[in-house]
Chain A
Amino acid sequence: MACARPSILHVDMDAFYASVEVRDNPSLAGLPVCVGGPASGRGVIAAASYEARAFGVHSAMPTARARRLCPNMVLLAPDFDRYTAASRRIMEIFRSFTPQVEPLSLDEAFLDVRGCERLHGSALDIGHAIRARILKETALVASVGIAPSKFLAKLASDLDKPNGFRVIEEHEVRETLDPLPVEKIFGVGERTAKRLHQLGVETVGDLAGLERGEVVRRFGASGVWIHDLAHGIDPRRVNPHREEKSHGMERTFAEDISDPEELRTLLLSFCEEVGFGLRGRGLRGRTVTLKVRYSDFKTRTRTRTLELPTNLGPRLFSVASELLERVPGGPLRLLGVQVSQLEDVRQPIQGDLFESQLTPTRSQDQWIQTNERLEQATRSMDKLRRKYGRLAVQPAALLGRPALSGRTAPRQAPAAGAGAEPADSEED
């Protein structure tokens, strides 16, 4: 059961990517600003300002459709470096109040402030203070929801958006939940909603009124879950140590690509990027998964588990490119690579005697030498990249290509597709 006093905060930035853009370029203020891939290249909207939303534009909508709804919208290619920087600042603010912070993505997090009252005041005080500090320190606007459970807190932050501040007290749970459409329940998607509507269930109150046994009979295990939520029951705790399970990158192309060389080059750039991301997080992974989607939307994945975990781009690429050869050829609409079975780089690795015999092209000595050297070289290259930008050092094969994330120069060089977004953040 949720505890009586609301102590869980859900803080959600309003139109985060778009707001960062407007903040950094005030001439955009008041205009319908969208961040996403270009309409010509099957791009989708990653974020839309509230001015754009007024036209019916929302995130995950194909850019072409957004353009029809809002012909005057300002479309910007995503610049994740700046979003990440802003995100880092915001997370720091959260952590200055409590260590119990569970980030959900770049721009939202759960906080549990139980036990912080004597230090920082009530949950409401903290909520106000956080919003004020975010505004002051990043010039961005956040919505805050405060409730006794995660589900209700997230719901609350959404109710008064933008610039919202909403508290759901224990005694207000029923009256707040009952009139909401069932789709607001976390876990009720399009299909479940359709089935619920057929049962005459339109609102959360309707669902809560159903007999539990019946919901379970019809929806199985997820029935237990949605019925609990409909009653405001959400036992999940805020987990600051939620570990990343995987890290990857995928991208939908503006036009289908069938040239194997072109695909390999793209794959190399993804692997470099994923490796950089893993290194930045102090992680390395053991399992590499390649994902391809054909023009007919058929999706295939191939996976290989390494003997030794890695976070080096070239090693990831050597595996991923082999996997690419193992999928049926054909024009690809999407290509992606993902690394899972992650572990901390400080974890010692027991070496394997016969690793080289699994990669027969090189002798053991050569392989270890190159791996060792590659590691040292990568460390130095990463330093340069952090100081002079992501493109300061890159593999020769990638020279002259636009960056995957971040921009080569401000406000131009839009990447194809929806922007290469790290696959572990929001994704459809």
Chain B
Amino acid sequence: MKVLCNREKLREGLAITNGVIPTRSTKAVLENVCLVATDDTLELVGTDLEVSVRYRIDDVKVEEPGPAVIPSRVALDFVRDLSGETVTLETKDGNCFITSGADSCELVTVDPDEYPVVPRFDAEKQLPLQGGILTRLVNQTSFAAAREPGRYAMHGILLAIEDDCLRMVGTDGRRLALSSTPVDAGKGEWAPVIVPAKGMQLFCRVISDPLDTIHLDLGEHQIGMQTQNAEIFARLIDGEFPRYAAVVPTDCEQSLEADTELLNKKLRLVANVTGEDARAVKFKLKKKELELFGQSIGRGEATAHMEVAFTGKAAEVAFNPDYVLDGLKNCEGDTVRLEFKDRTSPGKFTLGENFVYVVMPITVDA
């Protein structure tokens, strides 16, 4: 293999594949990136067997087609720190030389036959979507997905296509983010799938232009996404996602609208004084005022007030401030609406046109 290519493009490609490639794996070959030069393209392939990526760099000069499997981390670091504009990749005697101007390195290679086979995107039915919309949906839901071990299915994001609507849901059992967008699903039928959060984040990573159209393929065991120059596959989580629709509150007596920025600020202020293990901020509603109250045993307490538009009767409810702040961070509008029934029922935050965030309150015995 011998290829000449733009250094910046190569760096970007290696950075993306390196995002999938494990730094330490029981299968050492997975710690490498697989380069394949054909015609006038260079393809970079990386996988950890859960998530795989093919990244294509066009406009390269292929002097000798062929593959090369080289250590991913080292290659990325070296290419990043090179100063020339063009880089030459060349295999010779079982080694791979990366050269730019007078600077070069020589990396050991692995037999390409040892590298696992990564699928190609060739779905019969595909769902076209604007890249930016996918990114938005992922950002609006992945923060709520579970991180701590436990309910396996909640470590992924539910992706469902129904009634010409693409919906994503992330939840850790204590809060739930639900965001959707209209799509033209055509005649295709897709069963809902659970995508690992890591895969979803990588999807967003390779979308370079939010206006570009991407294609999704929801298979039985994996989800694929195709962009201009990348194909990504993520193995689906095999599990049962909780019935999320049942927990989105519908009949709420209390409803308030608040300035997003101000609520964010006041909440952060009060949260400073709440305890570490049991963080709770009380939302006390009276007439046109919202009082935020936080305390921690042994440290003290804090109160903040702000004006809100409020319908319902005087009530109070307590939430983990971190959960609410996570939602506010992703809020699309200048105002946020909070609806709830009572202090033990879930609070529903409306953070955008098709974006709701449900947070289970913290109950404190009197």
Residues of A within 8 A of B (CB): 345-354, 356-357, 363-365, 368, 371-372
If A346-B364, A348-B362 are given as contacts, then 6 extra A-B residue pairs at C-beta distance below 8 Å, sorted by A number, are A351-B344, A351-B361, A352-B360, A353-B173, A354-B173, A364-B246
B346 at the interface (CB under 8 A from A): yes
Cβ of B173: which chain A residues have Cβ within 8 Å of it? 352-354
What A residues does B364 contact at CB under 8 A? 346, 348-349
Closest residue of B by beta carbon distance from A358: B242
- Closest Cβ of chain A to B212, distance in Å, is 35
B174→A348 contact, CB < 8 A: no
In angstroms, Cα B311 to Cα A205, docked, is 80
Interchain CB contact under 8 A, B363 and A353: no
Interface size on B, residues (CB 8 A): 24
Closest B residue to A308 using CB positions: B363
Q: Mind listing 26 A-B residue pairs with CB under 8 Å?
A: A347-B278, A348-B318, A348-B362, A348-B363, A348-B364, A349-B364, A350-B320, A350-B360, A351-B174, A351-B344, A351-B361, A352-B174, A353-B173, A353-B174, A353-B175, A353-B176, A353-B247, A353-B346, A354-B243, A354-B247, A357-B246, A363-B246, A364-B246, A364-B247, A365-B345, A368-B344
- Chain B residues lying within 8 Å of A368, measured Cβ to Cβ, are 344-345
A349 surroundings in chain B (CB, below 8 A): 362-364
Q: Which residues of A contact B171 (CB under 8 A)?
A: 353
Please state if B242 and A357 are interface contacts (CB–CB under 8 Å).
yes
CB pair A348 B358 closer than 8 Å: no
Chain B residues with CB below 8 A from A363, complex form: 246
A368, B346: Cα distance in complex, Å: 10
CA distance A356 to B345 in the complex (A): 12
B363 touches A351 (CB 8 A): yes
Q: Is the interface of B mostly helix, strand, loop or mixed?
A: loop
User: Whole-angstrom distance between the alpha carbons of A352 and B323 in the complex?
Assistant: 13
How many Å lie between the Cα of A356 and that of B243 in the bound state?
Answer: 10
Chain A residue, CB-CB nearest to B251:
A365
Q: Could you mark each residue 342-366 of chain B with 1 if its beta carbon is under 8 Å from any beta carbon of chain A, else 0?
A: 1011100000000000101111110
Q: Is B280 an interface residue (CB 8 A)?
A: yes
Q: Which residue of A lies closest to B151 (CB)?
A: A354
In the bound complex, residues from chain B placing their C-beta under 8 Å from that of A364 are 246-247
CB of B83, distance to nearest CB on chain A (Å): 53
Task: State the CA gap A348–B296 with chains docked (Å).
Answer: 11
Asked whether, in the complex, the Cβ of A351 is within 8 Å of the Cβ of B278, the reply is no
Distance in angstroms between the alpha carbons of A353 and B175 in the assembled complex: 7
Q: Cα distance A127–B172 when bound, in Å?
A: 56
Alpha-carbon distance A372/B345, docked complex (angstroms): 10
Contact (Cβ within 8 A) B242 A354: yes
Query: Which residues in B have their C-beta under 8 angstroms from that of A347?
Result: 278
Q: How far is the CA of A364 from the CA of B251 in the complex (A)?
A: 13
A-chain residues with CB within 8 Å of residue B363 when the two chains form the complex: 348-349, 351
A22 to chain B, nearest CB (A): 41
Contacts of B176 in A (CB 8 A): 353
Q: Specify which chain A residues have a CB less than 8 angstroms from the CB of B175 in the assembled complex.
A: 353
Which of A356, A365, A368, A371 counts the most B-chain CB atoms under 10 A from its CB? A365
Q: Interface centre among A347, A348, A357, A371, by most B CB within 10 Å? A: A348
Name which residue of chain B comes closest to A307, CB basis. Answer: B173
Residues 195-234 (chain B) with a chain A CB within 8 angstroms: none
